């Protein structure tokens, strides 16, 4: 039987994951089936169990099921425990069919850091600002702090939420949290982890936010730059969107499932052309 994988979400019709993993499989010579499954909002656990009965070996998980996926796992990676969420499920250690345990990981932060490095963005010794304090941000803080920035500020509309999030990661490095009103630059890297710019909204940020040579990174992506990236470009920042992060986190999932690490550059280039 062909090993089956999927991405769970709701909605999920827009997902690019099937195309990404089909390209990875072709590149690495792996035989597998990867589909998108819209799980019911009130019963993700049953959708996962049904998928396993039908030959499923692993899955990606996107909005709004990452926390539910976390609760399904028998074994969690350290970064998944930190994030309190899972975007990668694997049945059996290293895909071994004799192991019925469910393993969970979050690869979003690995994907972000990989994409930044691919673009030559240095993290060590740099001043980083991360906008937002939701699940998307929580999933990337550990890999960012592991890169040893000089400082990392989490800013959020609700200051208390950012402060609590920073406290959860305080043992990993120089991190603090606060409200948007307390943000003052300059920063070497500003990461937008909110979805506000997709709705045409921007956090109240000072014009003097970016250091010379700074990078602005939006974890969202689209055919056109987001509002945040347009704002950042007008203030002299180098701008990157989250499409590379999407491909890189998928590559990390693929490696965990199949033991082969695909090349992301050609897949990213094809996706970019298709937007």
Q: How far apart are the first and last CA of the chain?
A: 34
- Output Rg (C-alpha) for the chain, integer angstroms: 19
Which residues have a Cβ under 8 Å from the Cβ of 97 and sit 6 or more positions away?
Answer: none
Residue 77's CB: how many other CB atoms inside 10 A?
A: 17
The answer to whether residue 16 is catalytic is no
90 beta partners: 58, 103
Helices 108-118, 243-258: axis angle to 10 degrees equals: 120
Give me the sheet containing 175-179, strands edge to edge: 175-179, 151-156, 127-131, 187-192, 210-218, 238-240
Q: Looking at 16, 66, 101, 117, which residue is catalytic?
A: 66
User: What residues are labeled active site?
Assistant: 66
């Amino acid at each position: 039987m062909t090993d089956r994988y999927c991405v769970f979400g709701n909605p999920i019709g827009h997902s690019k994951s099937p195309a990404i993993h089909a390209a990875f499989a072709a590149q690495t010579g792996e035989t597998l089936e990867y589909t998108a499954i819209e799980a019911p909002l009130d019963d993700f656990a049953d959708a996962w169990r049904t998928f396993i009965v039908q030959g499923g070996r692993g899955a990606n998980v996107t909005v709004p099921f990452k926390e539910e996926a976390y609760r399904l796992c028998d074994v969690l990676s350290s970064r998944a425990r930190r994030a309190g969420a899972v975007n990668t499920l694997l049945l059996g250690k290293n895909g071994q069919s004799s192991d019925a345990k469910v393993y969970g990981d979050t690869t979003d932060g690995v994907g972000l850091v990989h994409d930044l490095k691919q673009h030559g963005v240095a993290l060590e010794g740099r001043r980083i600002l991360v906008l937002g304090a939701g699940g998307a941000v929580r999933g990337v803080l550990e890999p960012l702090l592991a890169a040893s920035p000089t400082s990392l500020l989490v800013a959020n509309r609700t200051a208390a939420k950012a402060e609590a999030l920073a406290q959860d990661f305080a043992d990993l490095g120089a991190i603090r949290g606060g409200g948007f009103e307390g943000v003052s630059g300059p920063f070497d890297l500003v990461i937008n982890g909110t979805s506000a710019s997709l709705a045409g909204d921007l956090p109240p940020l000072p014009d003097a936010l970016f250091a010379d040579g700074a990078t602005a990174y939006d974890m969202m992506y689209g055919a056109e730059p987001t509002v945040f990236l347009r704002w950042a470009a007008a203030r002299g920042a180098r701008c990157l969107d989250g499409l590379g992060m999407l491909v890189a986190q998928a590559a990390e999932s693929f490696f965990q499932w199949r033991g082969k690490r695909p090349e992301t550059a050609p897949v990213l280039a094809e996706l970019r052309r298709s937007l």
